[in-house]
Chains A and B, each alone.
Chain A
């Protein structure tokens, strides 16, 4: 049956990997925001040819599960890097390529599509009057971007970025299939030692639930602050 001691022990052990999971998710989030910005720019400006490529790319990323993309990256990336290293005469061994890099690349690309939607929406939410006012005041394009549009767009986008941070954390649970240790992977390792699957999975669920509740609480406070200021 359910042993509470084992549950508590598992929970303590799992909580040691929470900081590294959060840091990895943050890194993925930042890279995906940068990529998403590029994608949003390409689609908004309809850059020649790249625009069509990015649409195909978007359809593929939306149409296939993250897990399949992760496996594709896991098997493709070392081979591709090996070929590239051979061309550039760099020392590289595909057998000791750390799967964390695979996870970072695959997840950043996967989430970039979602981020580009968020970014596009937040830019469009800035009223056109604001841009006209900036132009009337003689701001350059760059100045308008930096002083008028981006500060307003960021406020609009932050809650959505926060939500996608949570979904990155949750999706990182798939990373144990390529050998990266996060919360769920740690729970699996714990249960492999004593065959108490239920306790360790319950501990992992509690960890995730606590994390998400705390983050949602913080987000609620932030939204209240914004509403007060507006």
Chain B
């Protein structure tokens, strides 16, 4: 162990951190939107779309993320060129965001669907009998009750997403892991332990902070729990 080297290379990783954070942010944002759409399709049981959504979720959940990344990276340009769309100029970061959005969308919809179903039928009926429109019902009754149930699962999803960004260097994205593998290959097989320990600490910090953020949100939404709401 060479502590001096460890501190010398730490700034390299911190300068590469924004790329990882951008990937995490966009993947989480669009993944959440996609998962809401998929959950809607699943719950409403629409003719062709619902079996397709089931197929999509089963695929996303049963193949490794690394394989999905490679399939998108090599397969998506071929697939879209059939329709005359050229995406060969896309950056590797864009391909990784697409992969993570697709992965996260399937994963999070498996969190949202049970949370939606966990809101009691009586709540729907009460809102209906008070004459709420379906949008009002969703905004004022269902979503506030759904959030505290879904948040732990969504937080777990965020942690997994952060972990999943560690494989993006396989297609050549220069994020934290990419910098690490460049450092390892340029140091001729020495000091790998320091490099990966530094990576571990960077990831640990990111996960810790996001965990704290999710815990905070959980605290805020706690009062929407039916039993807690009656107390306050």
Total interface residues in chain A, CB < 8 Å: 37
Residues on A with C-beta less than 8 A from B165 are 65
Residues of chain A within 8 A (CB-CB) of B196 are: 68, 71-72, 75
Binary per-residue interface labels of chain B (40-68) against chain A in the complex, 1 for a CB within 8 Å, 0 otherwise: 00000000000000000011011111111
Q: Is the Cβ of A201 less than 8 Å from the Cβ of B74?
A: yes
Name which residue of chain B comes closest to A75, CB basis.
Answer: B192
Q: Of the candidates A166, A198, A216, which one forms a contact with B75 in the assembled complex, judged by CB atoms under 8 Å apart?
A: A198
1/0 per residue, CB under 8 A from B, across A173-215: the answer is 1100100000010010000000001100110110011011100
Contact stretch, chosen from B4-12, B141-149, B201-209: B201-209
Main secondary structure of the interface of A (DSSP, over half): helix
Q: Is the CB of A62 within 8 A of B200?
A: no
Is the Cβ of A68 less than 8 Å from the Cβ of B203?
A: yes
Complex CA–CA separation, A227 to B129 (angstroms)? 37
Closest partner residue, chain B, to A206 (CB atom): B63
Decide: B177 and A63 in contact? CB cutoff 8 A. Answer: no
Judge if B70 is at the interface, Cβ distance under 8 Å. yes
Whether A67 contacts B167 by the Cβ 8 Å rule is yes
The answer to whether B207 and A64 touch across the interface, beta carbons within 8 angstroms, is yes
Q: A6: CB under 8 A from chain B?
A: no
B contact patch SS:
helix
Is the beta-carbon distance between A204 and B67 smaller than 8 angstroms?
Answer: yes
Chain B residues 135 to 194 lying within 8 A of chain A, measured CB to CB, are: 159, 162-167, 170, 177, 192-193
B118 within 8 A of A: no
Say whether B67 contacts A201, CB under 8 Å.
Answer: yes
Instruction: Say yes or no: is A76 at the interface (Cβ < 8 Å to chain B).
Output: yes
* Chain B residues positioned under 8 Å from A30 (CB to CB): none
Among A50-64, those with CB < 8 Å from B are 59-60, 62-64
Interface residues, chain A, with chain B CB atoms under 8 Å away: 1-2, 59-60, 62-69, 71-72, 75-76, 79, 166, 170-171, 173-174, 177, 184, 187, 197-198, 201-202, 204-205, 208-209, 211-213, 216
User: What are 11 residue pairs bridging A and B, where the CB atoms are less than 8 Å apart in the complex?
Assistant: A59-B208, A63-B211, A68-B200, A75-B192, A170-B64, A170-B65, A174-B66, A201-B74, A202-B75, A204-B67, A212-B63
| 8 tightest A-B CB contacts, nearest first | A212-B62, A65-B166, A173-B64, A63-B204, A65-B163, A63-B207, A170-B64, A75-B192
